[in-house]
């Protein structure tokens, strides 16, 4: 049991709050409430303290056009949304793809539930790739999951459909990359 005093700032860092989130909370009066009063990063936590942290949403998804499309939702809770992305669907809007992306479908889904959206896709999939895409539903989940991706704590497996003769079974353990002289 650790009995060393810990500040709110150190506690929140340990819980995955990024420097960016902590900085955005600094000037918001009700972002940190300690025992019913405004708390500060340097406040020391004691056993039985009651800490309430409200993370401000500083981004907006208002510019994403809401488009009704079928979503294959594999899992959802208050922190993440996991979708099985179909082939031939871009993940993000881009030139020529303003309304037919996964982001558009997710924006419509959130709106239909009366929720606001900041689209935070944690992993990326190529347009032609089918697979699971993890979307963070709020800033803290986005920071924690992005750190896990960077630290290779989230693992992915790929399966490929091939043409021609192959071995009956086996594992291909090689990096996936763009073919030389390819633009796709």
Active site residues: 126
* Residues whose CB is less than 8 angstroms from the CB of residue 23 and which lie 6 or more positions away in sequence, other chains included: none
d(CA 137, CA 57): 11
Alpha-carbon distance 176 to 171, whole Å? 13
Return the ∠ at Cα 116 (arms to 18 and 152), rounded to 5°: 35
Nearest to 126 by CA among 68, 184, 65: 184
At 165, list the tokens: 């003769």
Stated as kind and residue range, the H or E segment containing 45 is strand 44-45
- From CA 8, how far away is CA 149, in angstroms rounded? 26
């Amino acid at each position: 049991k650790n009995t060393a005093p810990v500040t709110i700032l150190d506690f929140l860092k340990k819980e995955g709050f990024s420097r960016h989130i902590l900085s955005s909370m600094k000037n918001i009066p009700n972002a940190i409430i300690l025992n019913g009063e405004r708390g500060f990063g340097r406040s020391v936590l004691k056993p039985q303290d009651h800490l309430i942290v409200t993370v401000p949403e500083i981004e907006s998804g208002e510019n994403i056009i809401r488009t009704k499309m079928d979503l294959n939702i594999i899992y959802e809770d208050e922190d993440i949304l996991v979708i099985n992305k179909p082939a031939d669907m871009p993940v993000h809007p881009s030139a020529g793809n303003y309304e037919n992306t996964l982001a558009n479908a997710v924006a419509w889904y959130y709106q239909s539930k009366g929720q606001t959206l900041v689209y935070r896709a944690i992993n990326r999939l190529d347009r032609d790739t089918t697979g699971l895409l993890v979307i963070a539903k709020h800033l803290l989940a986005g920071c924690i999951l992005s750190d896990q991706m960077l630290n290779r704590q989230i693992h992915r497996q790929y399966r490929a459909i091939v043409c021609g003769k192959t071995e009956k079974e086996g594992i291909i353990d090689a990096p996936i990359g763009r073919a030389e002289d390819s633009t796709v």
